[in-house]
Structures are given as C-alpha cells and as structure tokens.
Amino acid sequence: MPPLSPASVVVALRAAGCVFAEDEARLILSAARTPDELDAMVDRRVAGLPLEHVVGWAEFSGLRIDVEPGVFVPRRRTEFLVEQALAHAPDASVVVDLCCGSGAVGAALAAALGRVELHAADIDPAAVRCARRNVAPYGGQVHAGDLFAALPHALRGRVDILAANVPYVPTGEVGLLPAEAREHEPLVALDGGTDGLDILREVATGAPDWLAPGGCLLVETSERQLPSAVEAFTSAGLETRSAHSEESYANVVIGVRAGRPVRS
C-alpha cells in the first residue's frame, strides 16, 4: 500500500468528521517520522482519539505541553486562568498547580514568572507521569495524591498562587460531553459531582491554610455555576471576585487570603 499523501490524509480526516481537517493534517504530517507512523496516527485520529493524544502534545500559553493517551488535554480557555493569576501575583515566588493533569498551568506560570518554587499534584498516575516531564524544565516537583494531602507540609501558609483546574462537569452531564473527552480522558478529571462543584468546594475550604497572606486561589468554572462557586470561596473566608473572558468563553473565580485587597 503506497504511503498516504497530504491530500489523502485530509480526505480521511474530513470523512471522520474532523472540522479542521486541513489544520489537523498538517500537524499529523509534521509529527509522523515514518510512513508507517503516519498511517497509525491517521488511524488513531479517525478512530476518535483526541488530536493532542495522537501527536503527543498540546499548545498552551505559547508552550508545547506533552500529553499522552489517558491524560486530560489542557484547554485553551484555561489560558485565561493563567493570565488572571499573573495579573494578581506578578511577583509570586511559590506556585502550586493542583489537579494538575499534564501540568500545563504550572508550566505556563513558571515560564512567565521566571525563578519560582513550583509544585504540582494530581491523583491520577498517568497525569503525574506526564506532568513531571512538563514541569521539569522549571525545576518543578510533582506529587501524587488527593488534593492537599499530596502536598508537602512545608508549603502550608507559603503559596502565592494556588491554581486548581478542578473537574466541574456535573455527574449527570458527563455523558453529554464530546466523545473525545468522555471516552479518552479520565473521569476523575471531568466529573465534579452532583452540581459539578464538589471538588471546588473542597479546594476552597482547604486553601486558606496553604495560601500566604495575600496569596490567591484561582479556579475555572462555568457561567451557570459562577454564583455558587463565588459563594463557596466567600464561605471559606476568601476575598473573592470573578473574571470573565468573552473571547475564550472562560470564567475564573479568584479568592485571596486576607493580607491585601483583591485587584479589580
């Protein structure tokens, strides 16, 4: 069988329902090192594997983030969370990426801030393995475990930026997600409980013990969940505001431990 041509890759992807077939074809063609590898990559994409899992990386905040099958793919809208963190704490020296997945948020923050003490944590072993590769260039440490229980005790009261891209899809709506997510990403990275906010509330409650004075907790949520998310932050004693990006269709809740006012 002759090697696939660029045109035939586009045709195969378009037939599989890939809306941006030409763009995806360019990425796959640039990533494949041999004709056999190209065939295999096209087959995996046609079968529904996320493009990022096929090529082995995702673009995030100008970085190339390693991803692998079974690991949550960082969403471009989450770049807004990174922007908000940097706006609030441009001089942060201790950063934690909780529910880190691939470690994309932590890597992006470290790349922008320069020399920082970076920690990341996730309960999923595949995510921990992947995140270690992505934060290594910044001297980051990745810890395996459930939320704050995974973090070194010495971080208590020292964290300037606590970024937690928690799962926030309500359990009853997980089945409505695109097949790429519900079939190829870990459920633990998607399912946020009955109303989608179980993990968010747990993180908000525990955050004040870990934040430095003036340190901030940032969590992404949906527009519908925003009032309840803000209430959870406020109930935890955090000075709270929310931010919205029309361009990214992203909503971020920012909570600050008392010590300085929330930036508007």
Residue-level pLDDT at 71: 94
Residue-level pLDDT at 181: 87
Residue-level pLDDT at 167: 94
Residues 195 and 228 in one domain: yes
Residues 51 and 159 in one domain: no
- Which CATH number do you get for residue 184? 3.40.50.150
Mean pLDDT in consecutive groups of 10 residues from the start of the chain, 264 residues: 78 87 90 89 89 93 94 95 97 97 98 96 96 97 97 97 95 90 89 95 97 97 96 97 94 89 41
Residue-level pLDDT at 180: 83
Residues 230 and 205 in one domain: yes
Residue 234 inside a domain? The answer is yes
Residues 109 and 229 in one domain: yes
Which of the listed residues 66, 84, 118 is the one where a domain comes to its end? Answer: 66
Residue-level pLDDT at 2: 63
Residue 196 inside a domain? The answer is yes
Residues 100 and 34 in one domain: no
Q: DSSP character for 115?
A: S
Residue 1 inside a domain? The answer is no
Domain encompassing residue 46: 6-66
Residue-level pLDDT at 1: 56
Please state the three-class secondary structure of the chain as a single string. Answer: CCCCCHHHHHHHHHHCCCCCHHHHHHHHHHHCCCHHHHHHHHHHHHCCCCHHHHHCEEEECCEEEECCCCCCCCCHHHHHHHHHHHHHCCCCCEEEEECCCCCHHHHHHHHHHCCCEEEEEECCHHHHHHHHHHHHHHCCEEEECCHHHHCCHHHCCCEEEEEECCCCECHHHHHHCCHHHHHHCCHHHCECCCCCCHHHHHHHHHHHHCEEEEEEEEEEECCCCHHHHHHHHHHCCCEEEEEEECCCCEEEEEEECCCCCCCC
Four-point Cα dihedral 180, 162, 223, 171, nearest 10: 50
Residues 20 and 39 in one domain: yes
Q: Which of 38, 45, 40, 39 is nearest to 17 (CA)?
A: 45
Residue 261 inside a domain? The answer is no
Residues 141 and 20 in one domain: no
Residue-level pLDDT at 179: 84
Residue 239 inside a domain? The answer is yes
Q: How many CB atoms lie within 10 A of CB 159?
A: 27
Residues 137 and 189 in one domain: yes
Q: DSSP character for 91?
A: T
Count: domains in the chain: 2
Residues 62 and 102 in one domain: no
- Cβ neighbourhood burial of 98 (10 Å; 0-12, 13-18, 19+): buried
Residues 56 and 126 in one domain: no
Residues 215 and 156 in one domain: yes
Residue 91 inside a domain? The answer is yes
Residues 155 and 237 in one domain: yes
Residue 243 inside a domain? The answer is yes
- Say how far residue 115 (Cα) sits from the centre of its chain: 21
Residue-level pLDDT at 48: 85
Q: Which of 125, 126, 123 is nearest to 70 (CA)?
A: 126
Q: Which of 68, 82, 77, 99 is nearest to 192 (CA)?
A: 99
d(CA 40, CA 46): 10
Residue 90 inside a domain? The answer is yes
